[in-house]
Amino acid sequence: MQKEIWKSSPFGEDSIFHPNFDKKMDEERAARAAKNAAKLNVPDDEQPDTEPTGTFYHEQDDGKKIGSDGNIMKQRAVVSNTTDITNIKNNAKNKVSTPLDQVKSAKILPSDIALQTCIDVLNDTNKRTESDTDGGLHGESAIVFKDGTFVRGPSGKKGYVVEKGKDTGVFMTDEEFPDIPHGYSANDIEVTIHSHATNIFEWQGKNDTGKYGLYSGNAFKPSSKDELNEYWKSRTNIIVGPLGLFTLKEEKPQKQDNGIVIYKNTREYLYLKIDAVRNILKSK
């Protein structure tokens, strides 16, 4: 009966009724995972661990490793509270692990694949494109799935300054998220990632700092376009880019450090400088 149903399906051999459908999906996922591993912009001997140890990192000290929970949580976490950090360090000196439930300020990080993809998205944002000839003024995007595979969206066009509406005075990039691949659904998503402009844009207008002519991206400030993203309200979303608007020093614009800001259900959950992300990924 099953064989007869898939034959009459308009999807033919791709039908869910095909006897080999599950096997085919497993093979597609394995092939995509291998392809994605090859696409990560790091050498083979520096590929992120697929099962990171239960390690704690200092949130403010550039992601410095401070201790372990004995590989119970099998994930990485950053810690911000001074008392928690001191306790973890003291335990580590005595070669004692620290249970996660004793670290009240611990925040679990996304997978290593997601963190590495953040770095790749940032790097590609800084690259020149056909419309963004200087680099840093367009957006990039990605979706990372729970099984470790990911897909990248196309590079967005050079951004622009919004002149009307809720985002007036904001430098906006219009990158689009990639489609979810065949065999996956929104429930399979671990995180979505997109970037805000990393360069400073000069234009005759007024920006949200009150200064004329200069505009920058800000990972701390989701745009109304971000908030309309179908994943925004129910997923973990990461914005990659400057950690704040530029500042002026002696009338010269100064860029903020680039980093990642993690949002959970529209609320800011955690931010890290990009150097801290790199340090965490290098840590074993």
The pLDDT of residue 91 is above 80: yes
The answer to whether residue 184 sits within a structural domain is yes
The CB-side HSE value for 265 (13 A sphere, CA atoms) comes to: 0
Q: Are residues 138 and 277 in the same domain?
A: yes
Residues 172 and 144 both lie in one domain:
yes
pLDDT in tens, 8-17: 444 455 544 5
Residues contacting 207, CB < 8 A, separation 6+: 161, 169, 170, 171, 214, 215
Domain-located, residue 45? no
Q: What is the pLDDT of residues 204-249, one digit of tens each?
A: 655 555 545 788 899 999 988 888 888 887 789 999 999 998 887 7
pLDDT of residue 234: 74
Asked if residues 197 and 217 have their Cβ atoms less than 8 Å apart, the reply is yes
Domain total for the chain?
3
Q: Are residues 132 and 225 in the same domain?
A: yes
Same structural domain, 93 and 179: no
Q: Are residues 137 and 269 in the same domain?
A: yes
What tokens were used for 15? 């039908």
End-to-end CA distance of the chain: 52
Residue 41 has a pLDDT of 53
Q: Is residue 44 part of a domain?
A: no
pTM comes to 0.80
Q: Cα dist. 111→29, 39, 76, 104, 145 in Å?
A: 17, 17, 8, 21, 10
What is the structure's pLDDT at 256?
94
102 lies in the same domain as 125: no
Q: Count how many residues are written for the chain.
A: 284
**Does residue 116 sit in the same domain as residue 104?**
no
Report the interhelical angle of 274-282 vs 112-126 (nearest 10°). 140
**Do 126 and 68 fall into the same domain?**
no
Shared domain for 141 and 220, answered yes or no, is: yes
- What does residue 263 show for φ and ψ, rounded to 5 degrees? -115, 135
Residue 135 is assigned to a structural domain of this protein:
yes
Residue range of the domain that includes 19: 2-39
Q: Mean pLDDT across the chain, nearest whole number?
A: 84
pLDDT per residue over 104-133, tens digit each? 999 999 999 999 999 999 999 999 999 999
C-alpha dihedral sign at 225, 228, 229, 233: positive
The answer to whether residue 9 is domain-embedded is yes
Predicted confidence (pLDDT) at residue 5 exceeds the cutoff of 50: no
Q: Does a structural domain hold residue 24? A: yes
Of 18-27, 74-83, 158-167, which one has max mean pLDDT? Answer: 74-83
